[in-house]
Structure 1
Amino acid sequence: MKDFIQILKRFIPPYKRALVLSIFYNIISALFSGIAMLFMIPILEVLFQTAKEVDVLLPWQMTKDVLANNLYYYVTLVKLKYGVVLVMPFIGLFMLVATLIKVGSMYMADHEMVGIRNGVVKDLRTQIFNKLMRLPMAYFSDERKGDLISRATGDVTEVEGSIMASINMLFKNPIMIIVSVGFLFAISYQLTIFVFIMLPIAGWIIGKTGKTLKHKSKESRTKLGDLLGIVEEALGGLRIIKAFNAEPKMERWYGDETEQYRTIMNKLQRRYALAHPVSEFLGTIVMVFIVWFGAIIINGEGSTLDGASFIAYIGVFYQIINPAKQFSTGYFNVQKGLAAMERIDTILLAENKITDKATAVDKKGFETAVEYKNVTFAYKDKKVLKNVSVSIPKGKMVALVGQSGSGKTTFVDLMPRFYDIQEGSIEIDGTDIRDMKVFDVRELMGNVNQEAILFNDSFFNNIAFGVEDATLEQVENAAKVANAHEFIMATENGYDSVVGDRGGNLSGGQRQRISIARAVLKNPDILILDEATSALDTESEKLVQEALENLMNSRTSVVIAHRLSTVRNADMICVFDDGEIVERGTHDELKAKGGVYSKLHDLQVR
């Protein structure tokens, strides 16, 4: 319950007004629920012909004795004037009014609680998505996308259906129980003390029954994340699966995981199914003991508890039974929800080290050079860059070449602070990028990657992505520079045509030209090209290369290339090997040196 309270403290504050109103309506509902039940006593007494006659009306006071005296005074008045037959409709009218106020207040309490519940769930979804957008790239290296999707969707749904659905348990049921207990004390304090002895025992048994639910629920959510991960990987790698006739292998893998999930869910849901039977049985036991003890009190000497009052007592007690049952069911629900919340918190509470310093400076333009000074970077314990130093002057094109895994992509990923270095510094115009605002650093740069990343949206929105208030004319001009305008206009709806999931409606060359158009529209000071033409056919490469040359014209560019023919005109070529720059110079200088670059060049021209 402590963890449950902590979660509410985190998410409820924006809805304090609605919560206060809900509590107020619940108090009104509980009060009139008890009052309606107390009106049963004079009705029963009339039925049993034991109603006492009162002929003195006392001055009104909010005390038990005065209220009871005056109620019986009017009952006596009606009985003497109109007869016994009209007494029950007279009392019943008061009972109906009390019940109307009760149910009206109950609805208003639930009305306010609906807003709280849906608001908290909305806030939770928003916080998860925003945090995922802000977390550094390093976080996602250790996480499976399927599991992250499971936490952002399935686990939030679990929290909504368990913890949020149990808010009433915390803010409604205790009020009903406390107010009802007050009425029980008013009817018979002896019987109520006996109830207080019985209920903690029942609560302890329920707590022991649900103790393992949290662990099992967490295990089931983790396994569901694994299942989603397999589905995500299978859909992404469907071409390879079919090419290698690996459908049976994937089916066995998924089948084994779903069988494990089935086993876990069987154990979890069977334990959860115990909630209602256990609470029902324990409630019946408590009721049997109350009737037995009530009979002892009624038949005892000098007892003030009569039959009609005892039946009313049972009626009020039954108003406690349902909230108490909901407590037990809610306890089981909360345990399941807490397990899901723990998994969500691995995202919400994850540390983001790539943030602005309190003293971060604004940087709105690029003036002289980007400098890497003795930069060392490691993924966990594996060093990927080792003491790398290089200067990239403004307006120059620097090419990075070398074997796969030599550190080229890591080199360019450090510039926009996708990762932070462990040693050394990266400076723009003499200022360490860690001393600048992250937004400003990334605003200076534009990326065109080997895999063109497009969204399932229109051509216009994909090109204008990240540029606020772009006009159609600006988007068209960018597409023309990228050699994309013609094929866009050939589609049915032109710039309003949807490119499909990840640009699935386009060829590889078309996707890449849309990606280039996006960079053209952003018009960055520094352009990063990561093997932008390596996956294209000859014709597409020619069009894309022409678009890239248009984009790089008089612009600072850092280009990763496997095809050395595309970087012959670079102002400087850096040759990477095992995380170090082993050679640097122009194409002609490196070719004449006869080193690593020369060997790579000779291999490609053969």
Structure 2
Amino acid sequence: MKHIPKLLGYLKPFKSKIALYFFTTLLAIVFGLFSFGMLIPVLQVLFNGDQKPQTSGTGFVTRTTNFINDFAITHGKLNVLFYIVLALVITTILKNLFVYCSLLILNPIRNAVMRQLRDDLYSKTLSLPIGFFTEERKGDLMSRMTNDVSEVEVSILSVVESLIRDPLMILFTLTTMLFISPMLTLFLVLILPIGGLAITKVGKSLKRPSNQAQEQLGEMLANVEETLGGMRIIKAFNAERHQQLRFRHINNTLFRIRNNIAARREAGSPMSETLGIIVVSVILLCGGYLIFSGKSSLTGAFFIGYISLFYNLITPIKSLSQSFYNMQKGSAALDRIQELLQAENTIVEIPAAKSINSFNTSIELKNVGFSYGKKEILKNINLTIQKGKTIALVGASGAGKSTLADLIPRFHDVSSGEILIDGQNIKDLKIYDLRRLIGVVSQEPILFNDTLSNNITLGTGGMNQQQIEDAARIANAHNFILKKKEGYETFAGDRGSRLSGGERQRITIARAVLKNPPILILDEATSSLDTESERIVQEAINVLMQNRTCIVIAHRLSTVQHADEIIVLNHGEIIERGSHNDLIELTGTYRKLVEMQQLK
């Protein structure tokens, strides 16, 4: 519940519309009460219309009864009944008109809040460092951005209508009832809080299981995402039953939690209705006593009207109790959303960050160390990369090659030491400008379910068709694109599923060519391709690397023999460095790695 004020903060831009909603709701309630109030004169005319006015009494009931009786005697019961029915129709029409107007005002506000919440979540997700996504499961993050947001909309924002309308309804109805019978209404006000306490206690018990349910939904989505991504492996290892059991365990847990939530939530409406009937029974006894004993000016018509108003009061009370349950349920989802919105972004730009528009001399890593939690990944890295040179990072899996490369565009920040570009610490530079200088071609090509043209222009913008095609030609992609039925407007499919591995890789190379960065980080992109695709892609990479400063993460050492310097990493430390020939003569780790690959 502590995060609900933050959610309500999204309503600030709509203060004037909320005030208008308040006004239209108020009018709807007033006309609604008039509609209910018409029952009293109808009964009065039908059963007591020919009685002479009472001469004593100054109360509201006495004055109203005298007025109705006098009017019926003067104008005739049928005429009075006609006017009352006409007033009933008019007030009902006006009531429903204002109800409709209030909903027309409220729904766009609610939708705008949800739109902004989704935008904020997506923007926050994009701003978080890469390290965050290694800790969190993608399925859980997707669940927060979809299921949790939907839960907030249904459980909390839908309650906004109730929180404005129902208290007004209760207040105006009680005020009207107070005019009819102060004694009965005072008694009513005293006993209603007892039921409210019982409902509140049940509602508070909803939050914990609701939070568990949202977490299980995240687990389920993560499991489905893993299954869809690893379907080939699942089938190859006959692991369908294993995956089915995993999913079934999560699904059964969610089943039990949701049943628990439903049992508690659904107790609210019957509980409030039962309490209402008990109160009505007591009111009937007390009201009957007052009428029969003559100790009150309350008449039969007004008493029936009073009972009708009380039934009218039960609806908003039930709605408020249901809203309280929903808020408890939705607050668990809101907590998970706020946890993401408040996640710490460790890659921050200093207020006085400098612009950088070109790369002129060198990249320097001075005593660089990097730790992931308590685990030290890199330590005491000293490296200078001159402009136009190619540096290859070599080492066994887990040696720290990719992590070292990721430090340069600030995908991670160093734990110690510093990285300089042209003598400036990269932490002092604008992140956008820094990354504009760097192109990345990853080992696993990442494409989006968009046109090939848009995949090539990703992040660049403003490029014309000729520039796109020129980049594709350099990447050896133009010809295969033209063979597609829709050419550059062909959709790549989910993660590029409609293209072969070599085609996907060439599109990512075309993307880097179009960006034309002075610095290129190349996670060897040919290691998983067939011979022909490897040849075509390697030709494109060779063209891409010309006249650039390149950092190559090498998996197959035959591709980096012509690098200006080869850096050999082991357990996060540089253990050897030099040219291919120098390192072969050294008969150290590099030579062993080369010989092992030659044996393969």
TM-score relative to the length of structure 1? 0.94
Deviations 1:230-262 (A, max 9, x none): 111111111111111111111122122212221
Identify unmatched segments of 5+ residues in structure 1: 57-62
Structure 2: how far apart are the matches of 1:588 and 1:403? 20
**What percentage of residue pairs aligned between the two structures are identical?**
44
| Conserved 8 A contact 2:44-2:65 | no
What displacement does 1:53 show?
Answer: 6.0
Please tell me whether the aligned partners of residues 583 and 590 of structure 2 are also in contact (alpha carbons under 8 angstroms): yes
- Structure 2 residue identity aligned to 1:80: T
Tell me, yes or no, if structure 1 residue 508 matches structure 2 residue 501. yes
Which structure 1 residue ranges, 4+ long, deviate > 3 Å from structure 2? 2-5, 50-56, 67-79, 299-302
Contact 2:162–2:323 under 8 Å retained in 1: yes
The DSSP-based 3-state class of the residue aligned with 1:183 is helix
**Whole-Å separation in 2 of the counterparts to 1:553 and 1:540:** 20
Query: Could you tell me how far apart the structure 2 residues matched to 1:378 and 1:128 are?
Result: 28
Partner in structure 1 of residue 38 of structure 2: 39
Cα distance, 1:351–1:523 mapped onto 2, change above 3 Å: same
Verify: 1:541 aligned to 2:534, yes or no. Answer: yes
Asked if the contact 1:364/1:444 (under 8 Å) is kept, the reply is yes
1:30 aligns with 2:29: yes
Residue 321 to residue 130, structure 1, CA distance change in 2 (3 Å): same
The verdict on how the C-alpha distance between 1:75 and 1:105 changes in structure 2, with shifts beyond 3 A counting, is: farther
Q: Is the 8 A contact 1:384 1:579 kept in 2?
A: yes
SS in 1 for 2:492: coil
Superposition map of 1:150-189 within 5 A: 150-189=143-182
Contact 2:46/2:77, CA 8 A, preserved across alignment = no
What is the CA-CA distance between 1:94 and the residue it aligns to?
2.2
Q: Which amino acid aligns with 2:296?
A: S
Which of 343, 355, 358 matches 1:350?
A: 343
Show the 5 A alignment for 1:32-111.
32-49=31-48, 76-77=70-71, 79-81=73-75, 83-111=76-104
Matches of 1:178 and 1:384 in 2, distance apart?
Answer: 65
TM-score normalized with structure 2 length:
0.95
Q: 1:142 & 1:64 partners in 2: Cα distance?
A: 71
2:569 is paired with a residue whose SS is strand
Q: CA offsets per residue over residues 45-64 of structure 1, 9 Å max, x none?
A: 211225666799xxxxxx99
Cα offsets for 1:371-393 (capped at 9, x unmatched): 11111001111111001011111
Q: Does 1:600 align with 2:599?
A: no
Paired residues, number: 597
| One-letter amino acid of the structure 2 residue matched with residue 431 of structure 1 | Q
* Native 8 Å contact 1:177 1:320 kept in 2: yes
> In the superposition, relative to structure 1, how do residues 12 and 64 fare at CA in structure 2: closer, same or farther (>3 Å)?
farther
Per-residue CA deviations over 1:276-299 (Å, capped at 9, x if unaligned) read 211211111111112122223333
5 Å-filtered alignment, 1:109-258, equals: 109-258=102-251
The superposition leaves residues 68-106 of structure 1 with CA deviations (integer Å, 9 ceiling, x where unpaired) of: 96996587456424x221111112222322222222112
Moved more, 453-462 or 288-297: 288-297
Comparing 310-319 and 426-435, the one that deviates more: 310-319
Instruction: Identify the range of structure 1 (221-230 vs 72-81) with the bigger mean alpha-carbon deviation.
Output: 72-81
Checking the alignment, whether the CA contact within 8 Å between 1:55 and 1:76 is kept in structure 2 is: no
Which position in structure 2 is the counterpart of 1:486? 479
Where 1:48 maps in the other structure, the secondary structure is: helix
Is the CA contact (8 Å cut-off) linking 2:437 and 2:518 kept in structure 1? yes
Distance 2:3 2:478 in 1: 56
**C-alpha displacement of 1:268:** 1.5
Structure 2: where are the runs of 5+ without partners?
A: none
* Corresponding residue of 1:59: none
Q: Which letter maps to 1:467?
A: T
Equivalent residues in 2 for 1:418-437, closer than 5 Å: 418-437=411-430
User: Residue in 2 aligned with 1:575?
Assistant: 568
Q: 2: CA distance between counterparts of 1:138 and 1:156? A: 24
| Alignment match, 1:60 | none
Q: Is 1:403 aligned with 2:396?
A: yes
1:309 aligned residue: 302
**How far apart in 1 are the matches of 2:285 and 2:115?**
50
**Structure 1 residue 591 corresponds to structure 2 residue 584:** yes
Q: CA deviation at 1:275?
A: 2.0
Residue 550 of structure 1 is matched in structure 2 by 543
Tell me, in whole angstroms, the C-alpha distance in 2 between the residues paired with 1:371 and 1:4.
Answer: 45
3-state DSSP class of the match of 1:172? helix
Aligned partner of 2:327 in structure 1 is: 334
Residue of structure 2 in register with 1:376 after alignment: 369
Single out whichever of 348-357 and 383-392 deviates more from structure 2.
Answer: 348-357
